[in-house]
Amino acid sequence: MSLVRTDHAEPSVFQPESLLREARRQRGLDAGQVPEICLLDPDGAVVHWLQQTGRGQRAETWACYHTDLWETDVEDTPIGVVGNAVGAPFAVLVAEQLFASGCRFLVSITSAGQLDPVMTLPCTILVDRALRGEGTSYAYLPPDRFVAGDHRVLAAVAEELQRAGIETIRGATWTTDAPFRETRQAIDAAAAEGLQAVEMEVAGLYAFAQARGKPVVCCALVTNQMAQAGDDFEKGADNGAGHALALVAAAARGWSALHERESDQ
């Protein structure tokens, strides 16, 4: 089988609804819905904080074989959080199941390595587009160098983030499946293209979103210089959990406002 796919318009035989059905059967779970707003938390920092502070509870009906989903309220909005879905294949596997389970808007907040030398760390990028340096996106969209997020959703989210006083940078990232193959040559080439950070999920998630017509917004929390300096990977207070939840709440308000405007048209 060629790795260059031509079947992007053909439906998959294996569907997330079928996987969830069998998981419920095997595990004796009742049917249930996840919150409409969900967060992918690849580092697991938000989930750890929810467990540690008692501000979240584990969902009893989430049927994913590989993850737990934690539920919490942020500014009176129910949020579902899935931790440790690292890398595009895993993130998209979970995203498919979340949307099949009632999610209507998904935010991903991942840690990222610095490419743009002028940024002061930590900082947050609202990702416009990603260089497709992974394999998952090619199963959803034909080959191309970049995949972009939905500009309407990104604009609505950016407006609400600004209104909330949450500082973010609009920019582009490089998505890789191989973080320990970030060679100097590859880093310099990505930086020369104006990419600001390197991460592991965005290209796959934006390709899924585009192919499936689902609203997904990805943020990259730039925390490190690939461990080339001391004090790397610091996210701030509560290991960045409070910041992440504030981001999700603002993003959800932006998406909701956009959805309402488009529904009225």
**Local structure of 259: helix, strand or coil:** helix
Kindly state the percentage of the chain with pLDDT values over 90. Answer: 89
Amino acid in position 169: I
For the stretch 217-247, pLDDT in tens is 999 999 988 888 777 888 888 889 999 999 9
pLDDT for position 233 = 86
**Run of H or E residues at 133:** strand 123-133
Average of per-residue pLDDT across 116-137: 95
Q: Which two tokens stand for residue 256?
A: 């909701």
Q: How far is CA 107 from the centre of its chain?
A: 5
pLDDT at 3: 63
pLDDT at residue 239, as a whole number: 87
Q: What is the phi/psi pair of residue 243, to 5°?
A: -60, -45
SS3 for 16-82, per residue? HHHHHHHHHHHHCCCCCCCCCEEEEECCCHHHHHHHHHCCCEECCCCCCCCCCEEEEEECCEEEEEE
Nearest of 222, 231, 228, 227 to residue 199 by alpha carbon: 222
- Could you say which DSSP state residue 215 is in? -
pLDDT at res. 1: 38
Mean pLDDT of 102-117: 96
pTM of the entire predicted model: 0.96
* pLDDT exceeds 50 at position 61: yes
Domains along the chain with CATH numbers: 36-264 (3.40.50.1580)
